[in-house]
Every structure is written in structure tokens, then in C-alpha cells.
Structure 1
Amino acid sequence: MVTVDELLIRTLRAGYAGCVRPVLFRLNGGDPEEIHHQMVGVLGELPASVLDVMAQFLASSMDPVTVAGIDFPGRVGVAAGLDKDGMAARAWAAMGYGFAELGTVTAKAQPGNKAPRLFRLPHSQAIINRMGFNNSGVEAMAARLDQWGVYRGNGVLGHPIGVSIGKTKTTALDAANEDYLHSLRTIAPHADYVAINVSSPNTEGLRSLQSRRAVESLTSALVEETVKLDSVDPIPLFVKLAPDLVEADLTEVLAVCAATGVSGIIATNTTITRDGLHASERHLASQAGGLSGAPLTAKALAFVESIASRTELPIMGSGGIMTPRDAQRLFDAGSQLVQVYTGFIYSGPALVMGINRLCVPGRTR
């Protein structure tokens, strides 16, 4: 028997897929990057009166949880990359999100990689991107959050704010620590947690920072800095890992994260593999960049299961969440929170509502 919640979610999903998404996908000549910018821009300009109406319909039946000392009003959040510069930060709570991870931002503003760099694969329910951390810089984001009165713990936007930080492209790998430290110092007053992105495939050499020695050096420096910034209540740090890590490397990285005092793990980033593409879109497999969406679903689940069996650190599950069932499997595998991006592009607000209303989370830490 179909419940009222299931009927509502199916109706919302059908309306988005049948009416809204086709229009969105045709805007700006179908250019996915321009459409993305326009969508985020529109969300960022919505007046409070409209956001209040949206919240009444979309932001209900959320399941509060405390993870890493942070009180989350709900367990599904915005994944990094959806709102790189925090332009729409005031809108995400109204859409039912329990937190939003902004960024990835870098110490210096940078344009990212050469376009075209974002490819939509609708038959595969996937996206390939090689954006390259295009952003206005961490200082611009800090200034925007400051303008809105967003400070750690004050809940002005209705939920916690995380900020993902990455390495500036022009910064040498041996100088990466100071690059990340600058971003941490700048954004810490305005974020409830900081995510350390060492797993994007779109900045040359970045994934080498997932080696045991590099992770130990970087996380030690960043954790030490959080204590300097606030010795009583240091800001939590989460490390975002790639799903392409081999088992031996994963075991080492998790051990280092636990030893250096990292607060949690985000699993996963995009993958450089190309399994699961629809036959009509396999010609896009040669495009460089990270693959997200449905082809990542099984890989992300296996990765979360592997992490949960190796560490007691809290896990944010991310990658391949296209349906509430996908989120439920990540909860069952050991995730305390989940993040969505590509699934939101293809399913719209129905996905967030479905996770909030239909999923039954497992353990918390």
C-alpha cells in the first residue's frame, strides 16, 4: 500500500521530471554549466517570503542528529560543488536540507579548468565534470557569510554550514599545507565544520595528498591549527576521500585520520572510472574528470561499508544517491549523514523530501 508520503514524493518527482527539468536542461542552449550558475543565482535571490512558503512544504519530517558535536536538524545535506561560492546558502534550509557544504573554495580565487568542463549524461543519470575548483576564493566566501551574519554555531541559516577547502592550482604540492591553513583560518569563524578535499581528480596532483605521509602532515597541521583558533571547542574537520583508493591505502589513511584527531570522513568524491555508462553515452567516457551519479551508486556504497568496518569516525555518505533507497543503504552501511548533488539535479526537491520522510537512519556517533 502506498503511503501519503510516498504519493506526495512521487507526485513531486514526476512534476519536476516532466515539467521543470526539461525546461532547465534547455536553458542557455543546454549548456549545463551556465544552467547550473543560473539555478544557483536564482535560488540566491529568492526573497524570505518565498523561502518561508517553500520551507512549509519541503522542510518537514526531518530527523535531528548530533554528529561530531554538531547539531544537525536533518540528515541530508548539500554536497560540495553544488554551491561553490555560497551564493544560494540562504535557500538550502527551505528546500529541506539539514546542512549545506559550500565550496570547494581555495586560498586564492581561480577560474578553474578550460571549458567545456561539465557534461550531462541523462541516460546514465550521471555527470562528468573537470571544473578544477573554480571559485572566487575563500576570502570572498568569508565576506559573504559575514555579511549575512553567519558565524559558527549561531544557526542563522537554519542549519549548520560546512565549507570544503582545497589546494589552489598554482600552489606547489610541497606548499599545500600552508595553502589549506590559510583557508582554514579565514573560514573557521563562519563554518560549523570544514571539509578537507584531497580527492578531487580535477586538480593535478591533488589525489597524491591522500598518501599516508601527506595526509598525516596535512591533517596534523590543520588539527593543530583548530586548537590554536579555539582551544576549548576546536572546529571539526572532515576528510573527503576518493572511491578509487585501494584497500591498503584506505586502511592507512583512516588510521592516520583517527590518530591525528580528524572528526570524520566524507565518502566519497567522484570517480575516475567509467563503469555503468549507458551505451548511448559511452563515447563520453574519454572525457577527463570525475564521474558522479547513478554509475557511482554501488561503488560509493561498497566504499562506505569498507570505511565503516575500519574506523569509528563518523561518516558522511556521498556519491550516487539518486533515490531515498540509495540513501537508506548508506545509512545501513554506517553513514550518519548523507550529501546529494547529482541526484538533486535529476530528481529535484523530491529526493531530499524522500530521504527526510522515508529513510530510517542507523547508528550515530
Structure 2
Amino acid sequence: MYKLLRSFLFLFDAEKVHYFAMHVFKSLCKIGFIKKIIAKTFTPPPFADQQFQLGKLSFKNPVGLGAGFDKNALYLAELEALGFGFVEIGTVTPLPQAGNDKPRLFRLPKDKALINRMGFNNDGVKVIAERLQEWSKRQKNASPRLIIGGNIGKNKITPNEDAWKDYEICFTALHDHVDYFVVNVSSPNTPGLRELQEKDALAKILQNLQRLNALTKNPKPILLKIAPDLNSNQVDDVIALAMDIKLDGLVAANTTIDRSDLVTSKRVLDTIGAGGLSGLPLKQRSTQLVTYLHEKTKGQIPIIASGGIFTGADAKEKLAAGAALVQVWTGFIYEGPKIVSNICKTLQ
């Protein structure tokens, strides 16, 4: 059924279809009995003998939705109804920004992949914090509770030397409204952003956030999302810094700028142009990175695996490589609303 619907939706612009589909889904979920039917259909049964942890956080299941799908925290109730154990909102920046010029989201069906160059389009941290505050009020007595991650970044107009200030602004504004943070310095779609992955720039951002976190009554886990395109020396620098400042986790990995071994023709790729590639082509590289991080840190730093997860077997592979949790995004687009349920059934 979903494959038939997907074939129809894939006839239209990817970004427009995304918002249209989620708007329709949100409208349906406003009808109480329909939302209950959806939740009953797609929510996986609880894990009886397995626990999924990130620091002190307990997750009802290990399958999350990666940042970029619900950038502005608009669809949390609807995504919860689909069974996600956690949802990462953002990337959030201090000021609202429109992002890059459209079109900026492209499907590669032959490769089960996407290319995006969204450019951190979002409503800005003030609006998103207010939205999350309202969500928290409605969820006060919910059990089990949907875990919310806050993916934070810098505005395009902010020079790299001042980037740490943008991360501080977002961290401070969202601290009371999210369960964990992910520092995004690895998107390829904001000019110069990946330069912040270099050791000194990264240390300045993360050490400042750790300092601020320690001053709060309820410190939140801080994770770093890294690119799959880092060389081994750069990965080793990230690991050394993470261990030194006692980072709470790593997310492996963001989208890639690599275009090798794709089935999609070079002509089509040239027409699409720049952007980050996600989906099945990232699967092997992501697993290799998770394995490397897990072995190098001796399992001392939790890892959220992201990249090429479509099935329960894919998720099992990531968990066997050392991941504590997994995130889907492109797989959700290709596999449809039963992806969480299907993965969890395989893992149970």
C-alpha cells in the first residue's frame, strides 16, 4: 500500500510533498479516534527484557528520527503516534533563517537515497523553544514519554570565530525543553561549517557548552554529530577531545559529499548539484565509523548510529557494531510509517 502511495508522491517536488504529507497527517491526528487507530497500528510492543539508555535517559525503543525531518518541532505528537522512541528536532539556529534556494531536496530512487542542501532553514530558537514548552506541558504525565533531542547549529551569517556564541544561545534557550543536545558542525550545506570540526574550533564550542551544562540544576547529555567524510586523523582528534571533556555521546554520521558508486547517472547528479547525500549508499561507511568509534573509545562513549537504516537487519548491524541507539530519516521516506514497528519486531 505504501509503495503505491510513494510512487504517486515521488512524482512531485520532494520538499513540497514532505510538508503536504505531514500537514495532512497532522490534520488526521487531530481527530481523536483516528490518532488512536494510528498509534495502535504503528506503535511497536514494549521491549520486555532490553533497556536502551543514553546516560540517565531511558528510551522506550531504540529507533529515533534524525534531525532535519521535524526541524521546527511541529509534528511531535504525530511522530510519537508512529512509534518513534525519540525525535531530534532542528537543526535550530539563534535567528530564523530561510535556508538555501529551492529546489534543495532531491530523491535518488535507484540508490534509495536523498540529496539535500536545505541550509538550516528553521523558525529560530525563540519560537521553537516556546513550541517545545507547550509540548512539555501536554506531556507532563505521559508514560512512557517521547524523548526529544535538540540539534543546534550556527546561523549562516555568523562568522566561524563567533560560532561558539550561536551554540551557547541555542543551548541556553532550549535547555529546559529538550532531553539531550546534538552539536551539528558537520552539515555540508552551510558554508565553512565543517571547518568547525577541526580540533581547536570544536574544543572551544564543546568546552563552553560543558561548562554551561555543569552550572545547571539538571545537566543534559551533549553529543556531537560528525561527518562520514573525516579522515582517520580527524576522527582520532574528535575521539581524543570527546574523551578528554567527557562528552556524553557521538552521532555517526551526518550526510556525505561523496558521490562514488551511485547507480544514478552522472548527468542527473550534475543537474542536482551540491548537497549532502543520505540513505542506503551511506550504510557501509556509517557502520564502519560506528565500529571504529566504539573500538577506539572502548565503548565508553555512547553512539547513536545514523545512515542507511531501512530494515531491522540494518539496525541490528549498527547495534552489533557498538551503537546504543539508531536514527532513521531517508529510510522513513522509502519504507513508510511502519519502519519503527518493523525494526523493533526484528530486534525483539
Q: Into which bin does the TM-score normalised by the smaller protein fall?
A: over 0.9
> Superposition pairs for residues 1-365 of structure 1, below 5 Å?
15-17=1-3, 19-26=4-11, 30-45=12-27, 46-47=29-30, 48-63=32-47, 64-150=51-137, 158-230=145-217, 233-280=218-265, 283-284=268-269, 287-311=273-297, 312-359=300-347
Aligned in 2, Cα 1:302/1:154: closer, same or farther, shift over 3 Å? farther
Deviations 1:281-329 (A, max 9, x none): 6631561010001111111111111111112200000011122211111
Whole-angstrom distance in 2 between the partners of 1:152 and 1:192: 13
What secondary structure does 1:71 align onto?
strand
Aligned in 2, Cα 1:62/1:245: closer, same or farther, shift over 3 Å? farther
Q: TM-score, normalised by structure 1?
A: 0.89
Runs of 4+ in 1 over 6 A off after TM superposition: 151-154
What secondary structure does 1:229 align onto?
coil
Percent identical residues? 39
1:120 Cα offset (Å): 0.7
What secondary structure does 2:176 align onto?
helix
Contact 1:75-1:336 within 8 A present in 2 as well:
yes
What secondary structure does 2:326 align onto?
strand
**Residue identity matched to 1:316:** I
Aligned in 2, Cα 1:35/1:255: closer, same or farther, shift over 3 Å? same
For structure 1, list consecutive stretches of 5 or more residues without a partner in the other structure. 1-14, 361-365
What secondary structure does 2:251 align onto?
strand
Contact 1:292-1:342 within 8 A present in 2 as well:
yes
**Residue identity matched to 1:90:** A
Deviations 1:263-287 (A, max 9, x none): 1001000000012311446631561
Moved more, 109-118 or 279-288: 279-288
Q: TM-score, normalised by structure 2?
A: 0.93
Q: CA RMSD in A?
A: 1.9
Whole-angstrom distance in 1 between the partners of 2:194 and 2:59: 29
**Residue identity matched to 1:35:** V
For structure 2, list consecutive stretches of 5 or more residues without a partner in the other structure. none
